[in-house]
A = this chain, B = another copy of it.
């Protein structure tokens, strides 16, 4: 059982490491000091993860550390921003050394992969809650926003959708999956990969973007509302794993349309940019798939491959619903 200051010192300060680029002063004073790059705007986002709601108590601490930072980096990715720094506020039920060590390991491994520094921290006893704020940078006018979709744009999605939701259904006891298949979807739920490189590659290519955290229907709805447009989505074109595809179409629809926790990018671009979008995907090493079209007519229309309307009434994931 370690005290608050010991826990911070042991796991969340990394003495002797060179300061990250742009960090004049790291953790350990009342504030950290950052040196913004001239001519860049700052992109700022915050996400909080609460046990039992954003993650299950069965998650390994290392994966939890990864996920808490990943979902925040995903917001920077959706804006086409380059990650620079993050803060972490952490409530832990107990001063558990092994848990904190695992959490820090997962967190810093992902932070190091993106070259960003922890520049502020607060640790306290309490119900298990992680709150992270990320700070990135983007040149003025180049941020990808939700409001830029235009009628005629193609609608794209990165990676594949629905694995995380399928894993949740297994934990809920509604679906059974054998060992390897379960490991795969559980990995998608617990170790999402923020599409930072894709977001950067889509600057000047995509007209709008959002990251999929609450399910495609709900998140696309934000884009349509902010952009003042509608869309048709070809549901069968939404990329999904063979594991998801092996289930009944109702469950598949839940997984790919209202899944939540995908952390893939949903974005729009004019058809003239098709090749540039594919090049961005190749550059970032992630699949990009066209799944529909932005239209003048408001609302969202879901179609199957034969062009027949698909009825779907589930809302996006709402943390109070």
Interface set of A (CB-CB < 8 Å, partner B): 1-5, 7, 24-25, 28-36, 38, 40-48, 50, 52-54, 75-76, 78-79, 81, 85, 87-91, 94-95, 119-127, 129, 131, 133, 135-136, 138, 140, 143, 145-147, 209-211, 226, 318-321
Asked whether, in the complex, the Cβ of A29 is within 8 Å of the Cβ of B145, the reply is yes
Residues of B within 8 A of A131 (CB): 46, 48, 89, 122, 129, 131
Q: How far is the CB of A318 from chain B (nearest CB, A)?
A: 5
B28, B46, B127, B146: the one within 8 Å of A121 (CB): B46
Report the bound CA distance from A107 to B316 in whole Å: 29
Which of B3, B40, B120 is in CB contact (< 8 Å) with A46? B120
- State the oligomeric state as a number of copies: 2
Min C-beta distance of A143 to chain B, whole Å: 6
Rounded to whole angstroms, the CA-CA distance of A4 and B54 in the bound complex is 14
How far, in whole Å, are A116 and B62 apart by their CA atoms in the complex?
36
A98 CB, nearest partner CB in chain B, Å:
15
- In the complex, the answer to whether A41 meets B34 with C-beta atoms within 8 Å is yes
Q: Which B residue's beta carbon lies closest to that of A24?
A: B41
Q: Which 9 A-B pairs have the closest CB atoms?
A: A131-B131, A50-B126, A48-B89, A133-B133, A31-B43, A46-B87, A30-B78, A95-B320, A36-B36
Chain B residues with CB under 8 Å of A89's CB are 46-48, 89, 131, 133
- Nearest-neighbor residue (CB-CB) of A52 within chain B: B126
Answer whether A33 and B38 are a contact pair too, CB < 8 Å, given A89-B48, A120-B133, A320-B1. Answer: no
- State the CA gap A42–B41 with chains docked (Å): 12
Q: Which residues of B contact A47 (CB under 8 A)?
A: 89, 122
Residues of chain B within 8 A (CB-CB) of A90 are 48
Contact, CB under 8 Å: B31 / A44? yes
Instruction: Point out the residue from B1, B46, B143, B145 that lies within 8 Å of A122, measured CB to CB.
Output: B46
